[in-house]
Amino acid sequence: MSEDRTSELLREIDAYVEGLFAPPDEALEAALRDSREAGLPEINVSASEGKLLQLLTEIAGARRILEIGTLGGYSTIHFARALPDGGTMISLELDERHADVARRNIERAGLSEKVEILVGDARELLAAMVEAGIEPFDLTFIDADKEGYPEYLDFALQLSRPGSLILGDNTIRDGSVLDPQDDSSRAMREFNERLARDERLSAVVVPLIREGIDGIAIARVLVD
């Protein structure tokens, strides 16, 4: 099959899955629209990946979620909706402008009570959480700067308990992890290798259709 036909088919398959499992949703569409109008980059998870995040949260029975990289809150809304009554989420964001847009999007979705956005460099915010000995998270979603993934994994492990899930977005990036040519794909390759090797984890990377081909890492902290 020609490359053009293959990418067309990938787009059609993604639209098919999205049409079935991620039907139009007012709060999510408004979040994307306002993010775009505010000039945020369009690098949120896809609608069907959002649905996957929601399902993983439900399957894990997560009550406490940590997200690293908020952007306009599109993925945040999926997680927060999957939380049970009393469940909470902390999302970390470097850019105050992104955090402002996200807060408005989350408010409109009726989820403000469940979500706290902390603004700052995730490395510093995570180090402070470890230092403070806060209650572990049931699920951590890593989705900030790609160079930081190996370091974020160290923090996520320190902030997890046996049975917690650690997820990583963008772990395939059009195959750039196969033969990394820049710092971010080298870091992503290291992240995937660490997930595979770390004896505290059971993990896999699942390829996903996004603009091109990307992937999500799903890891579970083992119970010994």
Q: Which residues bind Mg ion (CB under 5 A)?
A: 143, 169-170
How many CA atoms are closer than 13 Å to the CA of 38, on its beta-carbon side?
20
Which of ligand DHB, Mg ion, ligand SAH, none lies near 111, with the C-beta cut-off 5 to 8 A by kind? none
Among residues 95 and 135, whose Cβ is nearest to ligand DHB?
A: 95
What is the closest distance, in whole angstroms, from the C-beta atom of residue 74 to ligand DHB in the complex? Answer: 10
SS3 content of the chain, % helix, strand, coil (to 5): 50, 20, 30
CB of 165 to ligand SAH, least distance (A): 16
Asked if 151 interacts with ligand SAH (CB under 6 A), we say no
Return the ∠ at Cα 169 (arms to 59 and 220), rounded to 5°. 40
Footprint on this chain of ligand DHB (rule: CB under 6 A): 43, 143, 169-170
For the chain, what is the radius of gyration of the CA atoms? 17
Nearest to 43 by CA among 81, 13, 69: 69
- Least distance (Å) from ligand SAH to the CB of residue 176? 17
Facing residues of 67 across strands?
91, 141
The residues facing 140 across adjacent strands are 66, 166
Q: Is 75 in the site for ligand SAH (CB under 6 A)?
A: yes
> Taking the complex as a whole, how short is the minimal distance between the CB of residue 43 and Mg ion, in angstroms?
6
Q: Which of 145, 151, 174, 190 binds ligand SAH (CB under 6 A)?
A: 145
Q: Mask: binding to ligand SAH, 9-28, rule CB under 6 A, as x and -?
A: --------------------
- d(CA 69, CA 175) in angstroms, rounded, equals 22
Q: Is 31 exposed, middle or buried (0-12, 13-18, 19+ CB in 10 A)?
A: buried
Angle between helices 47-60 and 74-82 (to 10 degrees): 30
Nearer to ligand DHB, 72 or 195 (CB): 72
Q: CB of 44: closest distance to Mg ion in angstroms?
A: 7
Q: Which spans of this chain sit near ligand SAH (rule: CB under 6 A)?
A: 43-45, 69-71, 74-75, 92-95, 98, 121-122, 143-145, 148
